[in-house]
Structure 1
């Protein structure tokens, strides 16, 4: 098993397991969703896990150009998407995160083999090189498509690039907003669940979430961003007042079916990039990888005590 396969499964489970997430599926409820719950995400993760390993192995053995690698792993992603839908009964649990995490899986495998590193800045730079031209061409093609996805409609009408733009630029929202917060909180020894809630709030306060924008309005997006910002000002997940405000925010988002799915996906990317950067600090020798796995497995087992169906191995 490639290390990226393990790390992606870990990131997907820790994202959905983060509780309490305003309007989003977590361990205690389905948020603003009626067609999915926590176990749906566990089933989806189990179905996607081997494809992440295949993408990482493809990147590790790749000798062509990075744009060609991007096109190759998208073919793997299409098969993975079908497996996801089969596992969830047709529910889209991870389509966005499959796109982002799949790219990172392949580029991590590529970078480990070519440069001996999974440093965050290196990976994100390689992601830009891998995807920019291909996605830029696709943005021009979107304008002429008769039928468009939700994200494509937002690009056509408002010029908003969504997750494709985030990937194309090497995950700037993660690099500048969420990853510094998440890394600092974990280094301080903070509770990992609370650290992820706090990180999500930072994303919700700063990111233009296309899920909210398409399903609701600019006014709703403004409300979400302003509320998340206010909760952070009051201490967020690390104060009694902040936790009380999060519960209220969750109730309102759930009632109004407001789901910041784009921010949830970026939380998953944040977790994955953090762990890949941690891997870089340990190195890639067999003994170093063993030590790395022991540390992460210990952490993951604590997480899995909250899961009925751990799928790390």
Structure 2
């Protein structure tokens, strides 16, 4: 299905954006000893059947507790497949939740005539409605994310989804499109989109690995890079290098922001173009 392929490609494209501060990219593994570009690609490809299943389960449905439970079960199966493909490395656990919900939202919106004109907002709102239902099948054991949320009082990926993906709609997408309007190259535009997300995101990946020092470094470094013109300018690139050096010293990487960059690329690829005058292209 086209939606599943777009989701998979968004994960791969995010991994290839280079240079990303302390994240896996074409240069190397960043702050991740157990990950590489090849592992990220294997992980992404292993998730395409999961995205297919999420889309199929959402066809003709509306957000509900029943749909939430079905999608959660599919997502857990997808996580197991990912962990098998990566030999136990967590490459895309957060992305299964973030991008998977958007796949479901896009599937539902493909059959809603009212959603076509404002597809990004409609998809994110629909995905948020799904996320707001409880997952009664969730494991009882605490995850890294849940421990970080409790310790630091942040919302993490769960709240990001429940609030309608504000860092996709109001940070990633605007930064990406503004950079393109300035005729910045696509790779640099995507870096700037990542930095715009990092500038305000309470990234639980950073908090888990190195606490508030890492989060403060990421936010301030991202804001500095953007204030100097972004990653396409000499001064911006120098600031980006300083940011990466500091995060590597802390052994921390903005994995939550990377997941939201992938979500941004997924939504950006879903232009509301009608192939036959009636059906949005993303329904195929």
Q: TM-score, normalised by structure 2?
A: 0.90
Q: Any unmatched runs of 5+ in structure 2?
A: none
For 2:147, the equivalent position in structure 1 comes to: 153
For 1:134, the equivalent position in structure 2 comes to: 134
The 10-residue stretch of structure 1 (213-222 or 108-117) with the greater mean CA deviation from structure 2: 108-117
For 2:52, the equivalent position in structure 1 comes to: 53
What secondary structure sits across from 1:236 in the alignment?
coil
1:82 corresponds to 2:73: no
2:232 aligned to which of 229, 238, 248? 238
> How many Å separate the matches in 1 of 2:29 and 2:250?
13
**Residues 101 and 127 of structure 2 are in contact (CA less than 8 Å); yes or no, is this contact kept in structure 1?**
yes
Q: Over the residues paired in the alignment, what is the CA RMSD in angstroms?
A: 2.6
> How many Å separate the matches in 1 of 2:281 and 2:217?
46
CA pair 129-201 structure 1, distance change in 2 beyond 3 A: same
**Residues 217 and 243 of structure 2 are in contact (CA less than 8 Å); yes or no, is this contact kept in structure 1?**
no
1:73 corresponds to 2:71: yes
**Residues 68 and 133 of structure 2 are in contact (CA less than 8 Å); yes or no, is this contact kept in structure 1?**
no
Q: Any unmatched runs of 5+ in structure 1?
A: 294-313
Hey, which bits of structure 1, 4+ residues long, moved more than 6 A? Answer: 286-293
Q: Which whole-Å deviations, capped at 9, do the CAs of 1:253-290 have from their partners, x for residues lacking one?
A: 234311000111111111111122x1x1x125399878
For 2:122, the equivalent position in structure 1 comes to: 122
> How many Å separate the matches in 2 of 1:261 and 1:113?
33
> How many Å separate the matches in 2 of 1:134 and 1:253?
35
**Residues 32 and 258 of structure 1 are in contact (CA less than 8 Å); yes or no, is this contact kept in structure 2?**
yes
Q: Which whole-Å deviations, capped at 9, do the CAs of 1:109-136 have from their partners, x for residues lacking one?
A: 111124374501111221222221326x
**Residues 67 and 131 of structure 1 are in contact (CA less than 8 Å); yes or no, is this contact kept in structure 2?**
no
For 1:184, the equivalent position in structure 2 comes to: 178
> How many Å separate the matches in 1 of 2:81 and 2:186?
30
Deviation of 1:51 (Å): 1.6
Deviation of 1:158 (Å): 3.1
**Residues 3 and 283 of structure 2 are in contact (CA less than 8 Å); yes or no, is this contact kept in structure 1?**
no
Q: TM-score, normalised by structure 1?
A: 0.82
For 1:21, the equivalent position in structure 2 comes to: 20
> How many Å separate the matches in 2 of 1:288 and 1:127?
20
What secondary structure sits across from 2:33 in the alignment?
coil
**Residues 9 and 45 of structure 1 are in contact (CA less than 8 Å); yes or no, is this contact kept in structure 2?**
yes
**Residues 217 and 246 of structure 2 are in contact (CA less than 8 Å); yes or no, is this contact kept in structure 1?**
no
Paired residues, number: 282
CA pair 60-116 structure 1, distance change in 2 beyond 3 A: farther
> How many Å separate the matches in 2 of 1:107 and 1:115?
14
For 1:42, the equivalent position in structure 2 comes to: 41
1:270 aligned to which of 258, 264, 272? 264
1:198 corresponds to 2:182: no
For 1:217, the equivalent position in structure 2 comes to: 211
CA pair 172-254 structure 1, distance change in 2 beyond 3 A: same
**Residues 23 and 29 of structure 2 are in contact (CA less than 8 Å); yes or no, is this contact kept in structure 1?**
yes
For 1:303, the equivalent position in structure 2 comes to: none
What secondary structure sits across from 2:132 in the alignment?
helix
1:283 aligned to which of 267, 271, 274? 274
Deviation of 1:90 (Å): 0.7
**Residues 154 and 161 of structure 1 are in contact (CA less than 8 Å); yes or no, is this contact kept in structure 2?**
no
